[in-house]
Amino acid sequence: MNRIASLSVVSLVALQACSEPAAGPTLDQVDYGADAELALIDRAAALSGAQDYMDAAAGTQLDLADQPDAFYLQVNETEVGDPDPNAPPASSYGNVIAGSLMVGSASIATAAVVGPPSTAIGVATDGEVVQLEDNLWQATNSVVIDDVAYDLEFNVAYVLVGYLAEMRVTSDDGRFDDAVWFAGFVSAAGHLGWWDLYNGSGELQGVVEWIADGEGTAEFGIAATAGEHSGDLLAWWRHEGDNAVTYHDASTAEDAWVLVTEEGSGEVRHPGYNLGERSCWDVDYMDAACPE
């Protein structure tokens, strides 16, 4: 579990000054190379028919209050549940406890990766929003952290099929100067999107993608693309009432997961638990044989 908990390759350390501010966000800035990091979205298909904001017919402002949690880099965590304290000894609940611990570690890793940018989006979109020109809006706000003031600019451009967005930051200590922290896209219906997270040199550090059909099926994936965790994948998904969190460790080619059914039964698989075998529990959270 330590490796999952330490998946924090994209964090505040990625906020470094970026040279040359770019105009936009525009379609030529979309990082199609990042498409290979996660298999959730085909970016070319998602942007089929898109036009840059300066060329597109006038569109409406993005409704920030009506976006899915994933747009704000937030995820509804899998609810494994807690054993009944009045039930038989805790040894009967070893599997669900292991599942709960893994979910907790995945939550820590998720917060480490997307917590800072999630906070930035929340702060920026809670500030003043102005229209810079047709199809281009900017939300601005400031926040003080450890006596350093950070000015946030969240730019959103309508491109017919959805909205391109980017977050830039400037700090009064001279450390950040219009640095592009993350950039991405959300479809017009809000059912799919992505965020690419960069360091100060414009190098991709991580990718977040999400899909949601609005009817209970959704997936939120995170990929590390640099550093010792490069290639590691963490995903949360929901389908027909079932919930799961999965993790792939690229360095060991090991997979771990927790699956919780709508009824409350489930299974956990982790190389550090039960010799890496699938381990299951029933609707009462009691250890149980895994289904074939």
Q: Which residues contact 77 (CB under 8 A, 6 or more apart)?
A: 103, 106, 107, 236, 245
Structural contact between residues 142 and 152, judged by C-beta atoms closer than 8 angstroms: yes
Average pLDDT over every residue of 248-258: 88
Task: Tell me the C-alpha distance between 38 and 41, whole Å.
Answer: 7
pLDDT at 54 over 90: yes
Confidence of residue 40 (pLDDT cuts 50, 70, 90): confident
**SS3 for 123?**
helix
Q: How distant, in Å, are the alpha carbons of 154, 166, 177, 204 from that of 20?
A: 17, 15, 9, 17
Task: Tell me the C-alpha distance between 1 and 6, whole Å.
Answer: 9
User: Given CA atoms 44, 49, 52, 53 in this order, what sign does their dihedral have?
Assistant: negative
Share of the chain above pLDDT 90, in %: 27
Find the helix or strand (DSSP H, E) in which 118 lies: helix 94-125
**SS3 for 260?**
strand
Structural contact between residues 4 and 247, judged by C-beta atoms closer than 8 angstroms: yes
Residue indicated by tokens 């982790």? 270
For the chain, give the mean pLDDT: 81
Which value, in Å, is the radius of gyration of the alpha carbons in the chain? 21
Question: Which tens digit of pLDDT belongs to each residue from 143-181?
Answer: 887 787 888 899 999 999 999 999 898 878 876 788 888
Residue indicated by tokens 């908990």? 5
Confidence of residue 77 (pLDDT cuts 50, 70, 90): low
Question: Which tens digit of pLDDT belongs to each residue from 2-34?
Answer: 444 444 333 333 434 333 434 579 999 998 888
Share of the chain above pLDDT 70, in %: 84
Q: What is the pTM of this model?
A: 0.81
Task: Tell me the C-alpha distance between 211 and 75, whole Å.
Answer: 12
Output the pLDDT for position 124: 83
Output the pLDDT for position 53: 95
Structural contact between residues 38 and 233, judged by C-beta atoms closer than 8 angstroms: yes
Which residues is 198 bridged to in the sheet?
204
Output the pLDDT for position 90: 59
Paired tokens of 32: 């199609």
Confidence of residue 107 (pLDDT cuts 50, 70, 90): confident
Output the pLDDT for position 96: 85
Output the pLDDT for position 137: 93
Cα-flanking dihedrals φ and ψ of residue 112, to 5°? -65, -40
Return the beta strands (E) in 7-57 as ranges.
Answer: none
In this structure, of 18-27, 130-139, 243-252, 271-280, the range with the lowest mean pLDDT score is 18-27
pLDDT at 80 over 90: no
Paired tokens of 214: 């609005």
pLDDT at 275 over 50: yes
Question: Which tens digit of pLDDT belongs to each residue from 116-150?
Answer: 677 777 888 888 889 999 999 999 998 887 787 88
In terms of DSSP H, where are the helices of the chain? 2-5, 43-46, 94-125
Output the pLDDT for position 86: 63
Paired tokens of 211: 């899909």
Paired tokens of 42: 């085909």
